[in-house]
């Protein structure tokens, strides 16, 4: 499911962002102000989707590879209390997610 998410969803944001940038360049060259304004929404939406997914992928990396730290807060304590560890939660989610 993560491969699908990366190759389809994240890729769609990148493709649509790049397409909107190309259209913006053409609109600016023509002096088409309404198109420039209209394209701003697509650029923000797709650019934001790309940035959010890039942060997401980086946070999934192991800490030793620059990934996110496990939570050290009420969430971290709740995970430890309910599942024993973050690793145990991840294993449970992977197993149950694979069964869907």
Domain around 95: 70-100
Same domain, 80 and 63: no
Q: What are phi and psi of 45, to 5 degrees?
A: -65, -55
Residue 37 belongs to a domain with what CATH number? Answer: 1.10.287.990
Q: Which residues contact 36 (CB under 8 A, 6 or more apart)?
A: 24, 27, 28
Same domain, 62 and 13: yes
Same domain, 22 and 2: yes
**DSSP helix/strand/coil, 61:** coil
Structurally, how many domains does the chain consist of? 2
**Unique residue bearing structure tokens 């797709």:** 46
Same domain, 36 and 74: no
Q: Which of 54, 73, 77 has its CA nearest to residue 6?
A: 54
- The pLDDT assigned to 71 comes to 81
The rounded average pLDDT for each run of 10 residues, N- to C-terminus, in the chain (100 residues) is 86 98 99 98 97 90 82 91 92 85
Same domain, 100 and 74: yes
- The pLDDT assigned to 88 comes to 92
User: How is residue 90 written in tokens?
Assistant: 């991840």
- The pLDDT assigned to 25 comes to 98
- The pLDDT assigned to 59 comes to 83
């Amino acid at each position: 499911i993560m491969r699908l998410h990366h190759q389809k969803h994240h890729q769609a944001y990148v493709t649509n962002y790049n397409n909107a940038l190309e259209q913006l360049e053409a609109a600016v060259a023509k002096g088409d102000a309404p198109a420039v304004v209209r394209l701003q929404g697509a650029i923000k939406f797709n650019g934001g989707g790309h940035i959010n997914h890039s942060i997401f992928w980086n946070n999934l990396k192991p800490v030793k590879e620059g990934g996110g730290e496990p939570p050290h807060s009420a969430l971290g304590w709740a995970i430890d209390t309910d599942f024993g560890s973050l690793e145990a939660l991840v294993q449970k989610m992977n197993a149950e997610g694979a069964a869907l």
